[in-house]
Chain A
Amino acid sequence: MTIRLHVWGERACFTRPEMKSERVSYDVMTPSAARGILEAIHWKPAIRWHVDRIHVLKPVRFQSIRRNEVGAKASAANARSAMARGTTEGLGLVVDENRQQRASLVLIDVAYVVEAHFTMTDRAGPEDGAAKHISMFNRRAAQGQCFHRPCLGVREFAAEFALVPEGAPLPPSELPDDKRDADFGWMLHDIDFAHGNEARFFRAQMRNGVIDVPPFASEQVVG
Chain B
Amino acid sequence: MSTPVTNRHEFVLYFDVTNGNPNGDPDAGNMPRLDPETNLGLVTDVALKRKVRNYVSIASDNRIYMSEGSTLNLLHKEAWTAVMPPVAKADDYKKLPKEEAKARELTAWMCSNFWDVRTFGAVMSTGVNAGQVRGPVQFSFAKSVEPILPLEISITRMAATTEKDAEEKGGRTMGRKHIVPYGLYRVHGYVSAPLASHPVKGTGFSEDDLELLWQALGSMFDHDRSAARGEMASRKLIVFRHQSALGNAQAQSLFERVRTLRAYQGVAYEIGSEPYYASTDNWPPARLWEDYRVSVDRDNLPPGIEIIER
Contact = CB atoms under 8 A, between A and B. Distances in A.
Main secondary structure of the interface of A (DSSP, over half): mixed
B213 to A, nearest CB: 15
Interface stretch (A85-93, A111-119, A206-214): A85-93
Given A66-B26, A68-B46, A158-B138, A97 B125 contact: no
Contact of A151 (B46, B67, B127, B138): B138
A187 to B, nearest CB: 24
Contacts of A92: 63-67, 70, 72
A3 to B, nearest CB: 17
Given A78-B79, A82-B79, A85-B82, A146 B246 contact: yes
Interface stretch (B155-163, B186-194, B272-280): B186-194
A95 B25 CA distance: 18
B36 A91 contact: no
Contacts of A73: 123-126
B123 to A, nearest CB: 5
A11 B128 CA distance: 33
Interface in B1-40: 25-27, 33, 35-37
Contacts of A157: 140-141
Interface stretch (B108-116, B175-183, B285-293): B108-116
Give the size category of A's interface with B. 35 or more
A162 interface: yes
Contacts of B134: 148, 155
Contacts of A156: 44-46, 138-141
Interface string A74-114: 11111111111100111111111100010100001000000
A105 to B, nearest CB: 11
Contacts of B188: 158
A86 B105 CA distance: 13
A2 B90 CA distance: 45
Interface string B56-76: 000000011111111110111
B207 to A, nearest CB: 18
Contacts of B35: 63
B65 A93 contact: yes
Contacts of A160: 250-252
Contacts of B271: none
Contacts of A63: 35-37
A76 B128 contact: yes
Contacts of A11: 141
A78 B84 CA distance: 11
A171 B128 CA distance: 45
A32 interface: no
B75 A78 contact: yes
Given A66-B25, A94-B71, A96-B69, A76 B138 contact: no
Nearest to B102: A80
A195 interface: no
Given A67-B46, A96-B68, 6 more contacts: A66-B26, A77-B126, A94-B67, A146-B246, A160-B250, A162-B252
22 contacts: A11-B141, A68-B46, A74-B110, A74-B122, A76-B93, A76-B125, A77-B126, A78-B79, A79-B106, A79-B110, A80-B83, A88-B63, A90-B79, A91-B63, A92-B63, A95-B50, A97-B72, A148-B138, A156-B138, A157-B141, A158-B140, A158-B251
Interface of B: 25-27, 33, 35-37, 42, 44-46, 50, 63-72, 74-76, 78-79, 82-83, 87, 93, 103, 105-106, 109-110, 113-114, 117, 122-130, 134, 136, 138-141, 143, 188, 190, 192, 194-195, 244, 246-253
What 7 pairs across the A-B complex have the smallest Cβ distances?
A144-B250, A90-B75, A148-B192, A81-B82, A76-B130, A145-B246, A76-B128
